[in-house]
Amino acid sequence: MWIYEKKLQYPVRVNKCDPRMAKYLIEQYGGADGELAAALRYLNQRYTLPEKVIGLVNDIGTEELSHLEMIATMVYKLTKDATAEQMKEAGLGAHYASHDKALFFNDASGNPFSATYFTAKGDPIADLYEDIAAEEKARATYQWLINMTDDTDLIDSLTFLREREIIHSQRFREAVEIIKEDQSTKKIF
């Protein structure tokens, strides 16, 4: 169960209308390594994980939903004052024709979101290594997004998200060690 707090996890500010940057940010909204895929991956995997790490994975999955909300806010703020011509020039003409400025779960290339972006193997170690890889890919993507903008306010929010991906990767690594230690413990019945 969730309790929704009506504020973003971290403030999102942008300096200017920039639909080109919004197009790139959409990758983290509906792309294979984006926030939706991460949230669904973790919230799905928790059902087959050992009890000792379920809370950790559930917490991170929930936090990923807040990151999705931050990305949506960034995209909205970057496009809210854009003209149809600016959307077209930024490579968002097809998106604008289908959705106006509404968000749609797709990647930066316009490919729709797919459940094939995430997996649950049912093996805790395999799933957690998948999660570590997902966090590292998201971290790299955030760095590349930071490299593509000169908007200092946007960089601040993207830096926050990049740092959270690092923390999540570390926490998943801790969960692997917890499971490995538990598996190596002698069990006497």
Residue tagged active-site, from 35, 63, 95, 130: 35
H helix count then E strand count, the chain: 8, 0
Residue tagged active-site, from 27, 63, 64, 130: 64
**Alpha helices (runs of H) in 33-92, residue ranges in sequence order:** 35-45, 51-79, 84-89
99 is in an annotated binding site: no
168 catalytic residue (yes or no): yes
135 is in an annotated binding site: yes
35 catalytic residue (yes or no): yes
89 catalytic residue (yes or no): no
168 is in an annotated binding site: yes
Residue tagged active-site, from 27, 63, 130, 135: 135
177 is in an annotated binding site: no
64 catalytic residue (yes or no): yes
99 catalytic residue (yes or no): no
89 is in an annotated binding site: no
64 is in an annotated binding site: yes
27 catalytic residue (yes or no): no
Residue tagged active-site, from 27, 63, 67, 95: 67
Q: In the beta sheet, which residues pair with residue 36?
A: none
Binding site, by residue number, is 35, 59, 64, 67, 135, 168
Q: Which residues are catalytic?
A: 35, 64, 67, 135, 165, 168
Annotated binding residues for Mn(2+): 35, 64, 67, 135, 168
Residue ranges for the known binding site for Ca(2+) are 59
